[in-house]
Chain A
Amino acid sequence: MKPTRGENIFQWFNYLFLTVLCFTFLFPFWRIAAISLNEGLDASRGGINFWVRKFTLDNYIAVFSRGDILNAYTISIGRTVIGTLLSIFLISLMAYGLSKNRLKGRKLINFMLILTLFFSGGLIPTYMLYKSLYLLNSFWVYVVPSLYGAAAVFIFRSFFRTLPQELEESAQIDGANDLIIFARIAIPLSMPIFATMALFSAVGHWNDYLTAVIYTTNEHLLPLQTLLMKVMNINQNESGSLAFGAVNLSDASRRTVTAESVKMAMLMVVVLPILVLYPFLQRYFVKGMIIGSLKG
């Protein structure tokens, strides 16, 4: 059927609208990249939106000349890797156990998990718990409290339930125990869900800034996001701010660096791992969202 005139007009407006919308998602990142690669003094004259006017890497050199940024990188990478691996391993183990009808007390545990989705003790009782567990001002506050999550257990469990039972049964006849079946049969068959859940967990770890704000006062434990918050003077009222005057400007070539241009470079440094990996990883996220929403 031939589209009507009204439908054609709609199509044009729709394409135009979506193009403008996509522009608003990309442009802010592009602009910050451009400013971060431009000489700071020159950028402060304004007008840098799309292209670099005077190219320099000085802003990035200034960022990495701060000792705390490398430390924050180590913390962020460390918690992301350790937190994700431990969490995915433990959650999948628990979900595998709960996916078996042989397990007695399954219903009670189920109920115990569901309740945590709708009710929590709140911030202060949690804070007092961490205090009594010596998690305050410890690296492990980034890892241990986020090891499990009821929703993630349920998503894994519903995936494990779709695995063919015959494989497990024949392995059992061959004398394999549950540990071997889980490691040799369940894990290899579940790689898509492992990949998706690991990616979600890793992005959550990388992007979390509040845990450090609430549970640490130790500057050496700040992850990248929280350090960025302090450097950018975001929410300066409670957390105090770190001045950027400390940047070493002795080198003559770095006199063009300004606080503003270094902030932009710092933003890029924090967001770059996400931007670089994003095109490769985004399809896993989408797949996982659909698995999670349809089955969970």
Chain B
Amino acid sequence: MQSVWNNRYLYLFILPGIVWFLVFCYQPMYGVLIAFKEYDIIKGVFRSDWVGLLHFKELFGSPGFTGLLKNTIAISLLKMVFGFPAPIILALLLNEVRSSVFKRLAQTISYLPFFVSWIVITGIWYDLFSVDGGFINSLLTGLGLIDEPVFWFGNPDYFWGMILASDIWKGIGFGTIIFLAAITAVNPELFESAVVDGASRWRQVWHITLPAIRSTIILLFILNIGHFLDAGFEQIYAMQNEMVLDKAEIIDTYVMKVGIFRANYELATAVGLFKSIVGMLLLLTTNFIVKKFGEDGVF
């Protein structure tokens, strides 16, 4: 007890934090129980009646669910296959630049969209890709690549492409920071001896640079995969509209509309819980596989 009293200020420092985490992180975890209950606002979460997996059956049986899941997985998969490697490639290209002034300037400019909100990005992209007078349509018609302006944001077929492109555009520059830091940490003697051995630039990248950033890549990949079903809530809610909703509704936007705008708490909680569990399983599985192959996992 004496030591607790001596360190009383330290305990005081962390006390508000512990209360906050209990209230704002752990209370909602308990609230998840309503996914298995018939929520009664008067009885509260604890005393509401159990209904078992009723809401999950309703969810998996509803016709819209397949489309929802398909959109979420497709968008996430596109982002993983094309979006994840993009900053790695850009970092490798930046690393080849010999002029340090050009390199620094290019980096600084490429971070910029990262600091701008998805609402502003959406506004900017709506303007660039607009049907009447949009820059992209003028450019493409001017070059003779298309005959008439395309309604980029109004056609469901293009929606996934627009989401992927804008996501890469916003995040690619900022994503390079971590990889460039890892590349810079490589011992320059490795490159020097490779040059003596007559290795081309390409072989140096393949045999020295990429192995050097491998553990960074794997770590980020595992952390990303836990958020696989997120698909980008802020971005997609900003960019979706009535015309493209068939391709644009993802789990998170659906949860918000059903749960909050239409007050169907139980169903929306069930969807959210389904998402959390899948994310957790993906994370654990990937971490397990990565460790099997002898790499460092997250835990």
A residues engaging B (CB < 8 A)?
1, 4, 7, 10-11, 14-15, 17-19, 21-22, 24-26, 28-29, 31-32, 35, 44, 46-47, 49, 90-91, 93-94, 96-98, 100, 102-104, 109, 112-113, 116, 118-129, 133, 144-145, 147-148, 150, 153, 177-179, 182, 203, 206-210, 213-214, 225-226, 228-229, 232, 234-238, 263-264, 267, 270-271, 274, 278-279, 282, 285-286, 289-290, 293-294
Question: Across the two chains, which residue of chain A brings its CB closest to B94?
Answer: A18
- Check B7 for interface membership: any CB of A closer than 8 A: yes
Given A207-B116, A234-B241, 9 more pairs with CB closer than 8 A: A46-B138, A97-B11, A120-B25, A125-B29, A147-B20, A203-B115, A229-B238, A270-B119, A289-B177
Whether A178 lies near B124 (C-beta < 8 A) is no
- Interchain CB contact under 8 A, B272 and A124: yes
Task: Check B62 for interface membership: any CB of A closer than 8 A.
Answer: no
Find out whether the CB atom of A286 lies under 8 angstroms from the CB atom of B177.
yes
The contact of A118 among B115, B177, B226, by CB within 8 Å, is B226
In the bound complex, CA of A282 to CA of B97 (Å): 21
- Closest Cβ neighbor of A94 among chain B residues: B17
Q: What residues make up the interface of B, taking CB atoms closer than 8 Å to A?
A: 3-4, 7, 9-11, 13-14, 16-18, 20-21, 23-32, 34, 45, 90, 93-94, 96-98, 102, 105-106, 108-113, 115-120, 122-128, 132-133, 135, 138, 169, 173-174, 177-178, 181, 195, 200-201, 216, 226, 233-234, 237-242, 245, 252, 255-257, 259-261, 265, 268-269, 272-273, 275-276, 280, 283
Partner pick for B280 among A104, A119, A293, CB 8 A cutoff? A119
CB pair A123 B10 closer than 8 Å? no
Residue in A113, A119, A144, A263 whose CB lies within 8 Å of B29: A119
Nearest CB on B from A144, distance (A): 8
Measured in the bound complex, the distance between the Cα atoms of B234 and A109 in whole Å is 30
Instruction: From the candidates A102, A125, A290, name the one contacting B28 in the complex (CB within 8 A).
Output: A125
Contacting pair A22 B10 (CB below 8 A): no
Q: Can you name 23 A-B residue pairings with CB atoms under 8 Å?
A: A10-B96, A22-B106, A22-B110, A28-B127, A90-B16, A93-B16, A103-B11, A120-B25, A121-B28, A121-B31, A121-B272, A122-B276, A123-B260, A123-B268, A128-B45, A210-B237, A228-B123, A235-B240, A237-B245, A238-B261, A267-B123, A282-B108, A289-B178
B1 to A: closest C-beta gap in Å: 11
Q: Is the CB of B34 within 8 A of A125?
A: yes
B127 touches A32 (CB 8 A): yes
Distance between A17 CB and nearest chain B CB, rounded to angstroms: 7
Pair A232/B126 contact, Cβ less than 8 Å: yes
Contacts of A104 in B (CB 8 A): 3-4
**Is the beta-carbon distance between B177 and A290 smaller than 8 angstroms?**
yes
Nearest 6 A-B pairs (CB), nearest first?
A: A121-B28, A125-B31, A122-B272, A207-B117, A178-B9, A94-B17
The chain A residue with its CB closest to the CB of B265 is: A124
A94-B13, A124-B260 are contacts. A4–B200 as well, Cβ < 8 Å? yes
Inter-subunit contact A148/B259 (CB<8 Å): no
Which residue from A1, A90, A274 sits with its C-beta under 8 Å from B195? A1
B residues less than 8 Å from A25 (CB atoms):
109-110, 112-113, 169, 173
Which residues of chain A have C-beta atoms less than 8 A from B173's C-beta? 25
